[in-house]
Chain A
């Protein structure tokens, strides 16, 4: 394609956006609205997921060192063997003194009168990568020589795993449904937006325009509108997110709930919005005029 013609086609795409400004506005608004709804559901599920992960991490495994190893350095030396067990994400060594102090601080001094530190054992506080594999990991840890006993709340872990599975399935189903609904709404809006162009396209065909020539301005137009819709949806989503999480944090100060900061997902959200916006804009536009080209 010649450059002068390329320039014309791009100009033509922009011209039709401004001359059909109401329909352009409608398309951008619908794309925006659909993206924001989809994005909000996704972000909610990301947050629930993060929250559950957070709670999971508080569910730690304690591996007690065998009584026969009373020397602190000897016990500490087991750390590398513990850390080497599959699915272990972090290991923290706690001496029997520390364990006792920790325990005592939680209870009445009087009650603990006369308790000797030897009652406590050296131990490792362990966090897992995937708590769904807790039972297996517990067995593997018990197999490490020098480890006497492992305490793990497997039933809690299973509950968390179930909740997380339900949340991800529900949000996946919701997002898939929203994608279908959005694509349907968006393609119909674009069809409506191009309906008035039928005549124009028929005229172009009559003077001998080939389909590519007619389609290209629509591609440019769809690209620009899609990017505009995606970009605006991103900015709006950001604002809504900050506003809502700000309110939430204000009322829940000091609670265990933390929200995922927008900055950590911003790039993904932007890429998804832009990508979807452009895809829907371009394919929607080209698809909408397909029937008009058959003259």
Chain B
């Protein structure tokens, strides 16, 4: 769940106003696409949700945590309610596929028994069975992306946020990924996906939030990508 009220983000270093009075609300169990042109502030919204950066003004609540007032040492607790997927996967290069997923469980203090039961299940869910021992560098882009997804899923987070997860995937793989997200969403997990891909968005009838120049310019349940790519 995300509540943003009148959120402004100014990057001090460049003076860029990345977000300007954004109001946005995502309820528990929703599936939402966030679209908009390059530089419109999509990644900025993602980073505000994960607590990587701080808003300049306004109020933000994520999974019941007040992000404007949260203490640095409380961030880990907040982040454990999220599954974050990055465009560039961000896997640990010298860890096997299995360990890349398992360490996310170790982080939260899961027992060895829980880990050895849960990790294979999640790897199978994303279609990576048989790849457990490989290193990320020995996988295709799509496979690496699925490791990142498995890692985001493994702790059964309340919400998954994905910043352009299909950026490096072919259309078929992209569609497969969205179907996987839909499956996860049906199990009760809130999903927020940033994407540029019009066809993909339009293939699903989901809620679409469009942002441009740091403002929300449309928000509808029609599942239509209203922003035209130049």
Contact = CB atoms under 8 A, between A and B. Distances in A.
Given A206-B84, A208-B80, 6 more contacts: A2-B109, A204-B103, A207-B84, A207-B151, A208-B104, A209-B107
Interface string A91-129: 000000000000000000000000000000000000000
Given A199-B90, A203-B90, A208 B106 contact: no
Nearest to A196: B93
Contacts of B84: 206-207
B92 A200 contact: yes
Interface stretch (B71-79, B178-186, B208-216): B71-79
Interface of A: 2, 4-5, 8, 19, 199-200, 202-211, 213, 294-295
A4 B107 contact: no
A295 B75 CA distance: 10
Interface range, B side: 20 to 34
Nearest to A18: B94
Interface in B38-66: 50, 52
B112 A209 contact: no
A198 B204 CA distance: 38
B112 A208 contact: no
B108 interface: yes
13 contacts: A2-B109, A5-B106, A199-B90, A200-B92, A203-B91, A203-B92, A205-B75, A207-B80, A208-B76, A208-B78, A208-B104, A208-B107, A210-B73
Given A208-B79, A295-B52, A8 B106 contact: yes
Contacts, number: 51
B108 A208 contact: yes
B170 to A, nearest CB: 25
A292 B79 CA distance: 17
Interface of B: 50, 52, 72-73, 75-80, 82, 84, 90-92, 94, 103-104, 106-109, 111-112, 151, 155
A209 B76 contact: yes
Contacts of A294: 72
Nearest to A295: B52
A213 B90 contact: no
- Secondary structure call for the A interface: helix
A205 B78 CA distance: 11
A200 B104 CA distance: 12
Counting chain B CB atoms within 10 Å of each CB, which of A4, A8, A202 scores highest?
A4
Nearest to B83: A207
B71 to A, nearest CB: 12
Contacts of A211: 73
A294 B50 CA distance: 14
Given A2-B109, A4-B112, A207 B92 contact: no
A277 B151 CA distance: 37
A205 to B, nearest CB: 7
A204 B91 CA distance: 10
Given A200-B92, A203-B92, A208 B109 contact: no
B92 A4 contact: no
A210 B111 contact: no
A294 B72 CA distance: 9
B146 to A, nearest CB: 16
B189 to A, nearest CB: 16
A196 to B, nearest CB: 9
A4 B104 contact: no
B76 A19 contact: no
B94 A207 contact: no
A207 B104 contact: yes
A204 B112 contact: no
Nearest to B86: A206
Contacts of A209: 76, 107
A19 B94 contact: yes
Contacts of A206: 50, 52, 79, 84, 90
A257 B118 CA distance: 72
Contacts of B109: 2, 5
Contacts of B92: 200, 203
B197 to A, nearest CB: 24
Contacts of B108: 208
